[in-house]
Structure 1
Amino acid sequence: MFLKDRQRRNIDYLQTLKGVVALLRDPGQTDSVYDVEEGLRNIKAVQLSVDFVKSKPEVAAIIEERYLAPEPDMEALLKLPEESLGYAYASYLKEAGFDPNFYRKLEVVDDASYMFLRIRQSHDIWHIVTGMNTDVIGELGLKAFELAQTRRPMSLVLLTGGLMRTLLSSPEDLDLLLDRIAVGYRMGAKAKPFLAQKWEENWEKPLAEWQAELGVEPTPVYVP
């Protein structure tokens, strides 16, 4: 048993290291993000993250329910009022050329795997509601938001890697990156839990109403 546990930890470590190295080379490698998260799945910090989010009753309820949304009907969402979350989401994905089902699927076997999958499924919605850009700096701002909301270990790993890469390859961007991280973390600490929301059952609700209800003041758009 000890040898099996040690072997599993070694495999997880190598998978995490491989993902981190790939991300340092190319932060746009989404598969590397998933490699990092899945390599970290057995560390104690993941269970502490689950305990943290479940300390909020509304999050604990959705985790127990294992709520996952069906695939969105993009054409139907584009017919909603322009001020709605659904229209904002569909038009954003269409303009960016993103696939709403881009994320890597995984089997839900426990609370942690459910949390991973639900955050992956709603990632682009989080971008829209927070106003964080989808470039590298905006993604890291959203990771700071996620860290405040969930204590998700992967968020901290990506923030650390992003800071290192910026310091070494584009130090002129460091001030902007630190600003986005600070803004994202403060926003996440103040906002009501995003993980508790069934966004997809209320696509027609105005985006501004979502933001007001959740205590979110969206970050101003910046020019990288």
Structure 2
Amino acid sequence: MSRSLNELARDLTRRRATLGEIISPLSTPELLAASDAALLAVPGFRQLHAERWDPPLPEPEALAKLPAGTLGNCYARYMEHYRLFPDFFPIQAKLGADATPTQYAVHRLNKCHDFIHVLGAYETSDADEVAVESFVFGVAPVALASFLAEAAVHPDIQRDRYKHLRDIYSGHIQAEDFERGVAAAALLGERFETLWEEPLESLRRRLGLSARAPEHLGQTGVNSCGGYTSLPFFHPIQRT
């Protein structure tokens, strides 16, 4: 992040702004330009943006057959555990030739949302959804604000299935998760769709993704995502 963008994001975090409150201050033309420049400086992202990298996801059954502990295996089991499916959020990808780096980052963060849950050991509880968006705020604050702004006015957001999404706007940015995201900003330059066989723990280390505090791991909680609640996936005794 540029210095001014970094300072603004940290100030909003210190003030415990809600995720809904970040939209307006991070939507100015100046900060959108700063976001584009910051993203293009992330190793690997410039080429991804130039290619508009957007490969299809493999079938979950194929990923589930990968060795235990790999990104693909953990991702497949996580999706099955919570009965999730890709492309959950109600926004359209901006992948045309005129897509700005920030618009492309919105698409990547949207598509990779469940990868980030797995990488960061975030459950799908309402509390952890605020935590994972706080993490994304550290990775790419303007892209997150753009996503939230776009999702807020999407005609489908009032559907029952998106209560989980509507509720995060009133969630306060979590400082610990924000700092984890700042440290792991390089993840936006990764081609995750080629890393299914990489061990999850080594990928976390390579991305500079620190472990979550033990008290946050494996907690049960309300999960309104799709109306389904399950026991935690990242159990503190048997961590994935």
Q: Quote the RMSD (CA, aligned, Å).
A: 3.3
Match of 1:13 in 2: none
Give the Cα separation in 1 of the matches to 2:126 and 2:146: 15
Q: Which amino acid aligns with 2:181?
A: G
Q: Which amino acid aligns with 2:59?
A: D
> Could you tell me how far 1:114 is from its partner in structure 2?
1.7
Aligned ranges 1:117-136 → 2 under 5 Å? 117-136=107-126
Structure number with bigger Rg: 1
Aligned residue pairs: how many?
Answer: 177
Aligned ranges 1:83-94 → 2 under 5 Å? 83-94=69-80
Match of 2:48 in 1: 62
Match of 1:182 in 2: 175
Q: Which amino acid aligns with 1:83?
A: G
- Provide TM-score, normalisation by structure 1: 0.67
Q: Which amino acid aligns with 1:88?
A: C
Secondary structure, counterpart of 2:37 in structure 1: helix
Residues 153, 192 of structure 1: alpha-carbon distance in 2 compared, 3 angstrom cutoff? closer
> Could you tell me how far 1:164 is from its partner in structure 2?
7.9
Give the Cα separation in 1 of the matches to 2:60 and 2:147: 33
Aligned-pair identity in percent equals 23
Which residue among 195, 202, 207 is the counterpart of 2:200?
Answer: 207
In structure 1, runs of 5+ residues without a counterpart are 1-23, 28-32, 167-176
Give the Cα separation in 1 of the matches to 2:112 and 2:142: 15
Residues 108, 41 of structure 1: alpha-carbon distance in 2 compared, 3 angstrom cutoff? farther
Runs of 4+ in 1 over 3 A off after TM superposition: 39-43, 153-158, 161-166
Match of 2:137 in 1: 147
Match of 1:195 in 2: 188
> Could you tell me how far 1:40 is from its partner in structure 2?
10
Q: Which amino acid aligns with 1:81?
A: P
- Provide TM-score, normalisation by structure 2: 0.63
Match of 1:14 in 2: none
Residues 152, 94 of structure 1: alpha-carbon distance in 2 compared, 3 angstrom cutoff? same
User: Would you tell me which structure has more helix in proportion to its own residues?
Assistant: 1
Residues 204, 145 of structure 1: alpha-carbon distance in 2 compared, 3 angstrom cutoff? same
2:106 aligned with 1:106: no
Is residue 106–residue 143 contact of structure 2 (8 Å, CA) maintained in 1? no
In structure 2, runs of 5+ residues without a counterpart are 1-17, 149-165, 222-240
Residues 77, 157 of structure 1: alpha-carbon distance in 2 compared, 3 angstrom cutoff? closer
Is residue 149–residue 189 contact of structure 1 (8 Å, CA) maintained in 2? yes
> Could you tell me how far 1:113 is from its partner in structure 2?
2.6
Q: Which amino acid aligns with 1:205?
A: E
> Could you tell me how far 1:63 is from its partner in structure 2?
1.5
Residues 101, 211 of structure 1: alpha-carbon distance in 2 compared, 3 angstrom cutoff? same
Q: Which moved more, 1:196-205 or 1:97-106?
A: 97-106
Q: Deviations over 1:34-91 (max 9, x none)?
A: xx98x99974233332222112242222212211121221100000111110010011
Is residue 27–residue 142 contact of structure 2 (8 Å, CA) maintained in 1? no
Q: Deviations over 1:22-44 (max 9, x none)?
A: xx9xx9xxxxx9xx98x999742
Give the Cα separation in 2 of the matches to 1:78 and 1:213: 23
Match of 1:169 in 2: none
> Could you tell me how far 1:126 is from its partner in structure 2?
0.6
2:203 aligned with 1:216: no
> Could you tell me how far 1:94 is from its partner in structure 2?
0.8
Give the Cα separation in 2 of the matches to 1:75 and 1:40: 43
